[in-house]
Structure 1
Amino acid sequence: MVNQAESFRRRARKLITFANGLLAIARELEGYSVRSEWGLPDAQAPVADRAMSEDHPYWLELARRAYADRRRRAKYFDISLFGEPAWDILLDLFIAAKEGRKVSVTSACIGAAVPSTTALRWIIVLENEELVSREDDPKDARRAFLHLTTKAYSQMIEYLSTMVPAASNECEELFV
């Protein structure tokens, strides 16, 4: 019974990950916008509504820049001063989701730029907070992949949308 429940959980995680990817692609292809349905200009829509209504390609660019900024700091300062492995993991998984890549637990630990044991503890915290889900590799029982949950993906978009000036209608021009 336990194995069947775990099997259902794994399948549910796979479906959630697949649905996140499809949703992102559909929104990019359709140019879906709740704002246009409401007849509101960009600047008048709340940040959360903008984040949820559009999964724009510039969120990927912002996430890449944030991750690169964190790595660049390590060249000038002791990396232990800025230890945020959970944030590095979330950024890494968001970038991977947008690029259609899978991230193994090992790769996520390396990307967190902390000892593996520390990164693994933070992965467990992220799983407990339902921000990350784990998927066993069907081809290699020693490996597992991590994915953002729908909740985390939405929160990442919402956060990244706050990095763009809310009053500007020229946000896209920043990344052209």
Structure 2
Amino acid sequence: MNQAESFRRRARKLITFANGLLAIARELEGYSVRSEWGLPDAQAPVADRAMSEDHPYWLELARRAYADRRRRAKYFDISLFGEPAWDILLDLFIAAKEGRKVSVTSACIGAAVPSTTALRWIIVLENEELVSREDDPKDARRAFLHLTTKAYSQMIEYLSTMVPAASNECEELFV
């Protein structure tokens, strides 16, 4: 293995570690916000906090967005809705929030397109520096994908725009 590949591998491990730390920090932040308000999880007024910050609500919004995309396939021809890059980003964001790894194969399946199409989109996402790849140290045939910090921040910014302005509407979303 050359030095450049060694640096890339170390960088991927650091990104994985950073995503794990972010998940812990988000969870702790959620607890502190809820305790500041003296409310259980779903009752903290979302609109009264800065929307661009990372909160546990973003995981729920991402899960719903992903589930909505899968549900459409029950009613419409799936070929009408081809956004594999978005499906991959949603899947990786959810995985980061849940602290789990997503293999390239799993990301391809989650994109709901042929694997060759998903692989092309993964390369595009890597070139855009939105996704990074980490080799599995236990199985040389497998690699994991992660959102970069850039993509993670962009997902937070995007998801924050999905929350209604009125806090009572936000509470209804997460009940």
Q: 1:171 offset after TM fit, Å?
A: 2.7
Structure 1 residues 29 and 40: alpha-carbon distance in aligned structure 2, compared to 1, 3 A threshold: closer
Structure 1 residues 169 and 48: alpha-carbon distance in aligned structure 2, compared to 1, 3 A threshold: closer
User: How many residues matched?
Assistant: 175
Give unmatched runs, 5+ long, in structure 1.
none
Structure 1 residues 161 and 64: alpha-carbon distance in aligned structure 2, compared to 1, 3 A threshold: same
Q: In structure 2, how many angstroms separate the alpha carbons of the residues matched to 1:86 and 1:162?
A: 20
Structure 1 residues 40 and 133: alpha-carbon distance in aligned structure 2, compared to 1, 3 A threshold: same
Q: 1:56 offset after TM fit, Å?
A: 0.9
| 8 Å Cα contact 1:10-1:135 kept in structure 2 | yes
| 8 Å Cα contact 2:43-2:171 kept in structure 1 | no
Structure 1 residues 65 and 41: alpha-carbon distance in aligned structure 2, compared to 1, 3 A threshold: closer
RMSD: 4.3
| 8 Å Cα contact 1:51-1:154 kept in structure 2 | no
SS in structure 1 opposite 2:73? helix
TM-score (norm 1): 0.83
Q: In structure 1, how many angstroms separate the alpha carbons of the residues matched to 2:32 and 2:8?
A: 32
Structure 1 residues 163 and 84: alpha-carbon distance in aligned structure 2, compared to 1, 3 A threshold: same
Structure 1 residues 153 and 52: alpha-carbon distance in aligned structure 2, compared to 1, 3 A threshold: farther
| 8 Å Cα contact 1:85-1:113 kept in structure 2 | yes
Q: Deviations over 1:21-64 (max 9, x none)?
A: 21232243145999999999999999999778632111111001
Q: 1:165 offset after TM fit, Å?
A: 1.2
Structure 1 residues 44 and 15: alpha-carbon distance in aligned structure 2, compared to 1, 3 A threshold: same
Q: In structure 2, how many angstroms separate the alpha carbons of the residues matched to 1:44 and 1:55?
A: 17
Q: In structure 1, how many angstroms separate the alpha carbons of the residues matched to 2:40 and 2:59?
A: 23
Q: 1:166 offset after TM fit, Å?
A: 3.1
**Identical residues among aligned pairs (%):** 99
Structure 1 residues 175 and 85: alpha-carbon distance in aligned structure 2, compared to 1, 3 A threshold: same
> 2:166: which partner in 1?
167
Runs of 4+ in 1 over 6 A off after TM superposition: 32-52
| 8 Å Cα contact 1:42-1:169 kept in structure 2 | no
